[in-house]
Amino acid sequence: MKSSLSTSLIALGAFTLAATTASAQSVTPLPSGFTAYHLSPSGTTVSGEDGTGAAQFVAPWDPALNMTYIPGTMTNIGSFAGRMNFDGSMIAGAFEDPGPMVPAPGFWQAGAGSGSTTAQSPVGYVDGCTLTSTNSSLNWAGTVGGVSAVQGCNLFPLRWDITGNTYQVLDTSSTIVPSAQPSARVSATSGDGLVSAGWIQTSNRSAAVWDSAGVLSFPFLTATDPSGGGEVFATDFTGDAFVGTSSAGPVVSSGGVLYYPATDAGLMNSGEGMLDISADGRVAVGAGGGAPGPFGSPDTGIVWTEWGGGQDINTLMANYGLSLPTGMQSNRVPGVSLDGHTFLVQEPPMFFGYGDSFIVTLPNSWNNLGGNSPTGVNGIPQLEGFGFLTDDAPARLSLSQGAAGAAAFLALSATDNPTPLWGGVLHTTNYFKLVSFNTNAAGGANIDFKWPSGLAGVTLYSQMAMLDFSVPANITLTNALSSTGY
């Protein structure tokens, strides 16, 4: 069930709203010459490479805190630090094997000085083929990794149990890719470590997902693209939402539905693709819209939200009065934090590769005030708010764990007046608007709206109540939310 609140409904109470102090938004440059690859889910660490090899930067993004990891028995030339675990204390990547001078899978632990723990190559040199292994991804705990390695002139996808140092060879058999032994690669590991994703191919790549048993499926497959063409670059914590590139351009797969953020943002259906996604699958980032070819136009950095679709990162920044200090436009967003409010942003390169990188932080407009009533038939009803609340920006109030198919109400207030009621606390006693609706079969509801213009620094309060005959008062309350415009 989806309904809408009009701007005028919220604006009715605007004249009584009290201004609050907005938290700061910022753009922080990373050192020039540092090629950034990934932002940790915690939003506090960036990995990549500089002129000396694999490197990591830690908040507050001071170049003096640069931490370069040099494997004890390997050269650092050609090494890189890629995706990280939750807080960036463990890093996946590759480094050069000094014997054949080809990449070997690397695994670093922050604070280990010049030493490192590395993956032993699970396969050797076969049929004269060169080993080109990489450790491409890690789960949040740093206990499961994704490794790709060559054997018999094919690239094999492997799930690496880091704790036990064992490998699971993932399935590459499929009617979609009907080769006897196609190549495949793991590019992403879910935060819980149960799902791997990447690509499988013979002549063309198909985006691939392997479940906890290693069974293969294709998230970007459609009736018009029966090959599921493309590649998965990242997944959410549970491995239920995926981002990457497809034959139709940058793509997000969420709840079994495919979304095309470049189209939403008014860009061409081309470009690198969506590169990262928040832990809950509600915010994704990437690059798209650039004209192909060596002399084509550069991509544009994209931010996709579940409640608002895709938009240009430069426009989103401008809504907060932000821009890159170089005066350039961002053409790539390769990282987003778990809460969807910290971004790793890059400008176009002068020639090839990636341009300089920046950390962009946007304030969280929402605050949970509590107030829930006792546990109802489906649990304790929860109210969440989503949206970057600048003028006319899309936003969403989302209810979960309410009674199924129940009559419900949303109260909007200009003030916070916590009052004990129905076994909980009603914060929106002095509401200026009451909106009625029914919950869906799962006891949830989404109410989408646009934050009205002219409410920068202004706070609204929202809370929901619904019928639930499993509790003594026959009514349950959600927590209350405050939401502040910028």
The model's pLDDT over 283-321, given as tens digits with 9 standing for 90+, comes to: 999 999 987 655 667 899 999 999 999 999 999 999 999
- Can you tell me the distance from the alpha carbon of 288 to that of 5, in angstroms, rounded to the nearest whole number? 31
Span between the terminal Cα atoms of the chain, in Å? 29
Residues 42/49, Cβ–Cβ less than 8 Å? no
Domain boundaries, the chain: 2-21+366-484, 26-361
Radius of gyration for the alpha carbons in the chain, expressed in angstroms and rounded:
24
- Residue 426 confidence (pLDDT): 97
Length, in residues, of the chain: 486
- Can you tell me the distance from the alpha carbon of 123 to that of 149, in angstroms, rounded to the nearest whole number? 7
Q: Which of 30-39, 198-207, 332-341, 351-360 has the highest mean pLDDT?
A: 332-341
Averaged confidence pLDDT in the chain? 83
Which amino acid does the sequence have at 230?
Answer: G
The 10s digit of each residue's pLDDT in 223-245 is 998 888 899 999 999 999 999 99
Residues 70/63, Cβ–Cβ less than 8 Å? no
- Residue 138 confidence (pLDDT): 92
- Can you tell me the distance from the alpha carbon of 392 to that of 412, in angstroms, rounded to the nearest whole number? 18
| pLDDT class of 101 with cuts at 50, 70, 90 | low
Burial class of residue 445 in the structure, from the number of CB atoms within 10 Å of its CB (0-12 exposed, 13-18 middle, 19+ buried): buried
The whole-number average pLDDT for the span 397-403 is 97
The whole-number average pLDDT for the span 397-424 is 96
Tell me which residue has tokens 């915010």.
283
- Can you tell me the distance from the alpha carbon of 272 to that of 301, in angstroms, rounded to the nearest whole number? 10
- Residue 382 confidence (pLDDT): 97
HSE-up of 144 (CA within 13 Å, CB side)? 17
| pLDDT class of 397 with cuts at 50, 70, 90 | very high
- Alpha helical stretches, state H, 237-382: 261-264, 313-319
The 10s digit of each residue's pLDDT in 426-435 is 999 999 999 9
The whole-number average pLDDT for the span 154-169 is 82
Instruction: Enter the tokens of residue 207.
Output: 């985006």
Instruction: Check pLDDT > 80 for residue 113.
Output: no
Instruction: Check pLDDT > 60 for residue 126.
Output: no
- Can you tell me the distance from the alpha carbon of 334 to that of 347, in angstroms, rounded to the nearest whole number? 11
Tell me which residue has tokens 């646009």.
450
- Residue 64 confidence (pLDDT): 53
| Three-state secondary-structure class, residue 143 | coil
- Can you tell me the distance from the alpha carbon of 121 to that of 138, in angstroms, rounded to the nearest whole number? 17
Tell me which residue has tokens 């200009």.
414
Q: Which of 70-74, 122-126, 168-172, 338-342 has the highest mean pLDDT?
A: 338-342
This prediction has a pTM of 0.89
Superfamily (CATH H level) for 26-361: TolB, C-terminal domain (2.120.10.30)
Which amino acid does the sequence have at 307?
Answer: W
Per-residue exposure over 410-441, b if at least 16 CB sit within 10 Å of its own CB, e if not: bbbbbbbeeeebbebbbbbbebbbebebebbe
Topology adopted by domain 2-21+366-484: Immunoglobulin-like (2.60.40)
- Alpha helical stretches, state H, 106-180: none
**At residue 214, what are phi and psi to the nearest 5 degrees?**
85, 10
